[in-house]
């Protein structure tokens, strides 16, 4: 053991401060029955301490901050809808998360941010605040209102905040208005570093979509000062995206890297099958109507995120195993011994009536006991459930509430960003003077679950992609080709590209994400979920059907085609 290692072992443990922001109407701190989102599940499987990968003698405390989504808490139906629809409370969520960091941070600590949906925007905004300002001292939080006001006044976003006039006036580098205080502090530049940001399906131009009657353009302008771009002070960024989401109000907000940026973060953005809720998890369909996939796809996006962050945060393996057992046991119960109450499909009038706030004026008839257990039905079975790897039903999220906003099929490799109120192609268009190529890198991948799901459902005469024609448009990947290519180094992988763009200068070739085999010392958590899904006793078992035909299972075939062996080196570069 070197002297440096001994010195590191004698030091107090550092801290990994983990900020987790849940999605709109999502909360795991409630007395109501709920299905946990991926944000909640992440909080519950992180270990309470970790070991440094580079120096085993260095230990870390892993301290988690969980923030319920907007529109949660003891609210009336109307108020919950208003908050969820307008983003009310968004700034407060950002400030509260920053306050947690400021109260706990010490030099050398690591900061990580995670979120889903509106919480994804919150997580990105918190990270932007840290990378722009740094972490101030706890006593300096007394001056945070002035700091935040200066931050909000840096409207254009083109000037680095610490080079902006509002900041310089705040710290006395420029003359201030009469009566305005000068704050004498200078956050440590090292505190501006974010170790990891992981998000599920960031939506809306600024995380504030237009929904039904709510036109939130003014809110987007109000929150436009938040920096949700990918800073060079971020080390690692991971983004799971929902391929089948078609609500225009929920168009995705991808990250991109300017080729001029130094240093460049590690960025991975992966497209999964499913709509918004399938990506982030937490649908109440899992204990009500049970028309969807029972969180199956969301477990795939969850295990993907865990696998991405495993080199940077310690996952408690026993907690992960316990969660998998808990989840598969729940699926078995609802299939064979379900007692959940399944309400009939509600009409438009019923949906509106639910949004009328409860007014406790006069009790007529029997009152509802707030402490009563949830309503239960007699024990029954759901024998048609299919618990295969991501092949269950996807419920179309485009309903009456979003008719006014229209549809927007997602565009892998060709997505847009909002600039001065207008949506423009992130990567530009070859030969287009108005939108010339930007050189921006989005580092997008297609998850193999997309191909697997399509293959299995076609074999069952349920060609899901073809059904998009009923919506008046084609599936986002309907005109794409999947082909296998061998790289110069002899490694093989599958790539996706738009048919007809083979030789175009602005063709987008997106690699398929590779699920590596288990290592000799560590499991691949994505593969663990695949194996668990294939092992579950279920009707129409795709794994059993494949064996009956003398075929290998899906990932075994990919392993052979890619030349993967145990301990294979990372391929998703």
Answer yes or no: is 504 within a domain: no
Among candidate residues 226, 288, 279, 227, the one with its CA nearest the CA of residue 250: 279
283/171 same-domain check: no
Contact 84, 97 (CB under 8 A): no
pLDDT at 36: 92
CA gap 271, 273 in Å, rounded: 7
The CB density around residue 392, as the number of other CB atoms within 10 Å, is 21
Q: Is 368 helix (H, G, I), strand (E, B) or coil?
A: coil
Whether 334 is in a domain gets the answer yes
Residue 129: how many CA atoms within 13 Å on its side-chain side?
Answer: 31
Domain of residue 224, residue span = 10-134+191-342+375-486
Q: Please give the structure tokens belonging to residue 231.
A: 């800073």
- Give the count of beta carbons closer than 10 Å to the beta carbon of residue 331: 21
- Residue in 204, 229, 244 with CA at minimum distance from that of residue 447: 244
Q: Is 44 in the same domain as 83?
A: yes
Residues 37 and 158 in one domain: no
3-state DSSP percent of the chain in helix, strand and coil, to 5: 35, 15, 50
Give backbone dihedrals phi and psi of 301, rounded to 5 degrees, phi first.
Answer: -70, -30
The secondary structure of 231-280 as a DSSP string is: -TTEEEEEEEEETT--BGGG-B----B-TT-SSPPEEEEEEESS-HHHHH
Shared domain check, 160 and 39: no
Is 297 part of a structural domain of the chain?
A: yes
Tokens of 549: 């035909």
Q: Note whether residue 522 is domain-resident.
A: no
Contact 569, 561 (CB under 8 A): no
Give pLDDT < 50 ranges for the chain: 73-86, 205, 225, 348, 351-352, 355-366, 538-540, 542-544, 547-550
Phi, psi of 312 (to 5 degrees): -115, -20
Q: Show the CA angle centred on residue 262, arms to residues 155 and 412, nearest 5°.
A: 75
End-of-domain residue from the set 486, 510, 538: 486
- Per the CB < 8 A criterion, the answer to whether 299 and 529 are in contact is yes
For residue 478, tell me if it sits in a domain: yes
User: Looking at the structure, do residues 174 and 212 belong to the same domain, yes or no?
Assistant: no
* Cα four-point dihedral sign 409, 273, 301, 451: negative
Q: State whether 152 and 235 are in the same domain.
A: no
Do 422 and 463 share a domain, yes or no? yes
pLDDT of residue 359: 42
* Token pair belonging to 557: 């075939």
Q: Look at residues 186, 205, 226 and tell me which one is the last residue of a structural domain.
A: 186
111 three-class SS: strand
Q: Are 88 and 44 in contact (CB under 8 A)?
A: no
Query: 486, 506, 540 — which closes off a domain?
Result: 486
Name the token pair of 396: 């179309």
- Residue 373: the pLDDT is 79
Q: Is 70 left (phi over 0), alpha (psi -120 to 50) or beta?
A: beta
Q: What is the pLDDT of residue 477?
A: 93
Count of CA atoms in the C-beta half-sphere (13 A) of 465: 19
pLDDT of residue 351: 47
Whole-number pLDDT of residue 206: 53
- Are 216 and 176 within one domain? no
Going by C-alpha positions, the residue among 246, 281, 202, 195 that lies closest to residue 529 is 281
| Domain-located, residue 500 | no
DSSP state of 469: G
67 and 172 in a common domain: no
Task: Return the residue matching tokens 């270990």.
Answer: 47
Decide: 316 and 45 in contact? Cβ < 8 Å: yes
Quote the pLDDT of residue 123.
95
Same domain as 149, residue 120: no
Interior CA angle at 353 toward 347 and 358, to 5°? 150
Decide: 3 and 93 in contact? Cβ < 8 Å.
Answer: no
| CA atoms of 101 and 516, how far apart (whole Å) | 35
Same domain, yes or no: 270 and 174: no
CA distance 571 to 573: 6
Contact 78, 355 (CB under 8 A): yes
pLDDT of residue 453: 92
Q: How many domains, in total, are found in the chain? A: 2
- Report the SS3 class of residue 544: helix
**Residue 520 belongs to some domain of the structure:** no
Angle at 418 between CA 412 and CA 423, to 5 degrees: 70
**467-524 tens-digit pLDDT:** 666 567 789 998 899 999 987 877 889 999 988 776 565 678 999 999 999 988 889 9
Burial class (CB in 10 A: 0-12, 13-18, 19+), 186: exposed
Task: Looking at the structure, tell me whether residues 198 and 86 fall in a common domain.
Answer: yes
Which long-range contacts link 179-185 to residues 24+ away (Cβ below 8 Å)?
Answer: 181/143, 181/146, 183/140, 183/143, 183/146, 183/147, 185/136, 185/137, 185/140, 185/143
In a domain, 146, yes or no: yes
- Residue matched to tokens 């060609």: 463
pLDDT for residue 516 = 94
First CA to last CA across the chain, in angstroms? 33
pLDDT the model gives residue 491? 81
| Residues ≥6 apart with Cβ < 8 Å to 455 | none
Helix 525-535 and helix 554-562: axis angle, to 10°? 140
């Amino acid at each position: 053991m070197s002297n440096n290692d001994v010195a590191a072992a004698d030091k107090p443990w550092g801290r990994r401060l983990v900020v987790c922001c849940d999605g709109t109407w999502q909360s795991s701190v409630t007395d109501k029955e709920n299905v946990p989102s991926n944000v909640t599940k992440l909080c519950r499987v992180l270990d309470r301490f970790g070991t440094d990968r580079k120096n085993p003698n260095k230990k870390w405390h892993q301290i988690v901050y969980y923030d319920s989504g907007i529109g949660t808490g003891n609210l009336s139906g109307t108020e919950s809808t208003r908050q969820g629809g307008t983003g009310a409370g968004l700034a407060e969520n950002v400030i509260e998360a920053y306050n947690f960091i400021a109260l706990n941070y010490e030099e050398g600590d690591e900061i990580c941010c995670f979120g889903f949906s509106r919480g994804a925007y919150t997580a990105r905004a918190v990270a932007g605040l840290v990378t722009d300002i740094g972490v101030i001292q706890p006593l300096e939080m007394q001056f945070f209102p002035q700091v935040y006001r200066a931050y909000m006044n840096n409207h254009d976003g083109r000037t680095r905040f610490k080079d902006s006039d509002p900041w310089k006036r705040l710290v006395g580098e420029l003359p201030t208005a009469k009566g305005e205080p000068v704050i004498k502090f200078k956050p440590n530049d090292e505190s501006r570093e974010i170790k990891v940001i992981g998000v599920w399906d960031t939506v809306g131009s600024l995380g504030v979509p237009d929904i039904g009657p709510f036109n939130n353009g003014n809110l987007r302008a109000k929150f436009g000062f938040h920096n949700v771009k990918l800073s060079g002070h971020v080390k690692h960024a991971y983004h799971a995206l929902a391929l089948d989401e078609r609500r225009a109000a929920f168009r995705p907000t991808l990250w991109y890297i300017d080729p001029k940026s130094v240093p460049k973060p590690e960025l991975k953005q992966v497209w999964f099958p499913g709509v918004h809720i399938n990506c982030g998890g937490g649908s109440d369909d899992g204990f009500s109507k049970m028309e969807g996939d029972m969180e199956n796809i969301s477990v795939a996006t969850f295990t993907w995120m865990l696998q991405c962050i495993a080199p940077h945060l310690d996952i408690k393996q026993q907690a992960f195993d316990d969660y998998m057992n808990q989840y598969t046991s729940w699926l078995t119960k609802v299939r064979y011994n379900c007692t959940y109450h399944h309400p009939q499909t509600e009409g438009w009038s019923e949906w509106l009536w639910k949004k009328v706030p409860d007014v406790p004026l006069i009790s007529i008839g029997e009152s509802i006991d707030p402490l009563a257990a949830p309503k239960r039905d007699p024990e029954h079975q759901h024998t048609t459930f299919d618990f295969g790897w991501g092949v269950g039903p996807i419920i179309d999220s485009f309903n009456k509430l979003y008719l006014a906003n229209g549809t927007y099929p997602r565009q892998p490799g060709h997505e847009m960003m909002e600039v001065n109120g207008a949506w423009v192609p992130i990567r530009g268009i070859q030969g287009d003077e108005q939108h010339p190529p930007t050189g921006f890198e989005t580092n997008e991948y297609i998850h193999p679950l997309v191909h697997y799901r399509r293959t299995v459902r076609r074999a069952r005469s349920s060609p899901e992609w073809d059904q998009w024609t009923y919506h008046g448009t084609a599936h986002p990947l309907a005109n794409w080709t999947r082909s296998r290519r061998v790289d110069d180094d002899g490694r093989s992988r599958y790539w996706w590209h738009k048919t007809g763009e083979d030789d175009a200068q602005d063709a987008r070739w997106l690699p398929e994400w590779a699920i590596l085999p288990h290592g000799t010392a560590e499991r691949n958590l994505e593969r663990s979920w695949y194996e668990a899904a294939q092992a579950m006793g279920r009707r129409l078992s795709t794994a059993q059907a494949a064996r009956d035909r003398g075929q290998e299972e899906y990932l075994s075939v990919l392993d052979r085609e890619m030349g993967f062996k145990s301990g294979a080196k990372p391929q998703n570069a």
